[in-house]
Chain A
């Protein structure tokens, strides 16, 4: 295969991965890594190195929209990035120490979890009432409000269990650095369930944080020689274009039947990755 053909096929596959990722509300990374390893037989570390670059491209490209929506809680995001960046550096180091087979198995577990969680659906609650007091959240002035167009009013919310959230973010960052994914599926519950941020705020803030998290592990991958320019370039460009087109032109998939099909496909891929890890 010539470099041109390789680049074009890779670009096309990653465009589809980015499109599918944005349709499902998952990142592109979690689909790109299986595509590269299972379809192209790319070494999983190179796949992860390319994927982490694509995560940054997508996040930086879309960041303006998340801030403009006035839903993102910038203070919460910046504070929790202490956890995600430290976790991402840890994850990137661990990825260099464990074998490729371990990476396949962890990836399979996170992919399976993300797929199931996506199917469980998302409750669009307008916030939680009577949250327990949290001195750290008060001190950092994390409480905020956002405008909900559906209800046509400003909804204020209080943030709680900030230390627990920070700890969970360390884990989310570690998975991001270890597997080259945005790990939004781990960041959102940390804010939604633990810190009691409204679902919409959690999702927007998670999307805002993903690029900074990914940047913290990209340097380690680059220095280790796992960012192959000729793989990372078409992958980053493909995912970026796919995700942009997906978020602009296509509405999110709300049909439970179609979601069920995709969840089945993702679970199948997860099993495939798991088997590859055992082989």
Chain B
């Protein structure tokens, strides 16, 4: 065993993971994933805040007998466009706060894909930059293409 092999082996013992390209990428990915996990928690906190706000603000309406039917049937009385969402948020409407929290949640995987483009660009992997950019384009387009039926 040569000296370099021994020092390489010692380095592997010291660090549980190999310091190669793959491992660097993987560490970056783990870091991104942890950030996204925080994103999940934050968006759920926004959701919970909105739900509590809704209960505190209009308890009488919320406990009415008609509530059950209005909740389980379609026919939106809650925001379902970016316009109505922002208007609702401006008025501090609880349903809008909940919907905004849910949209933040939906954005976590979108953000993950966006950051992956940078990771592949850093590796100078042009093919995967294009692949990932395409996935991101589909995700973004899905929010603007329209609804088909209703």
Q: Are A and B interaction partners?
A: yes
Residues of A within 8 A of B (CB): 1-4, 6-7, 40-43, 45-46, 53, 56-57, 59-61, 63-64, 67-68, 70, 74-75, 78-79, 81-82, 85-86, 88-89, 92-94, 96-97, 139-140, 211-212, 214-220, 222-234, 236-237, 240
Q: List residues of chain B with CB within 8 A of the CB of A240.
A: 40, 44
* Interface status of B9 (Cβ within 8 A of chain A): no
Q: Which of B112-150 contact A (CB under 8 A)?
A: 112-113, 116, 127-128, 131-132, 134-135, 138-139, 141-150
Query: How far does the Cβ of B41 sit from chain A's closest Cβ, in whole Å?
Result: 8
Query: How far does the Cβ of A52 sit from chain B's closest Cβ, in whole Å?
Result: 9
- Closest residue of B by beta carbon distance from A219: B143
Query: How far does the Cβ of B8 sit from chain A's closest Cβ, in whole Å?
Result: 16
Given contacts A1-B67, A228-B76, A229-B95, A67 and B30 within 8 Å (CB-CB): yes
- Closest residue of A by beta carbon distance from B43: A57
Give the interface centre of B68, B81, B132 by most chain A CB atoms within 10 Å: B68
14 CB-based A-B contacts, threshold 8 Å: A1-B68, A60-B36, A60-B39, A60-B109, A67-B33, A68-B30, A68-B33, A74-B116, A79-B128, A86-B138, A92-B148, A219-B143, A229-B98, A233-B101
Given contacts A43-B74, A53-B105, A215-B110, A139 and B50 within 8 Å (CB-CB): no
Closest 8 A/B residue pairs (Cβ):
A96-B149, A225-B76, A64-B33, A229-B98, A219-B143, A225-B80, A3-B62, A211-B109
Number of A-B contacts (CB under 8 A): 207
Cα of A94 to Cα of B148 in the assembled complex, Å: 8
Query: How far does the Cβ of B100 sit from chain A's closest Cβ, in whole Å?
Result: 9
- Closest residue of B by beta carbon distance from A230: B71
**Docked-complex contact A70 and B26, CB < 8 angstroms:** yes
What 1/0 flags go to B34-48 for Cβ under 8 Å of A? 101101100010011
Given contacts A67-B33, A215-B110, A224 and B73 within 8 Å (CB-CB): no
**Docked-complex contact B149 and A223, CB < 8 angstroms:** no
Q: List residues of chain B with CB within 8 A of the CB of A214.
A: 109
Query: How far does the Cβ of A141 sit from chain B's closest Cβ, in whole Å?
Result: 8
Q: List residues of chain B with CB within 8 A of the CB of A68.
A: 26, 30, 33
Q: Which of A60, A220, A222, A233 contacts B148 (CB 8 A)?
A: A220
- Closest residue of A by beta carbon distance from B141: A89
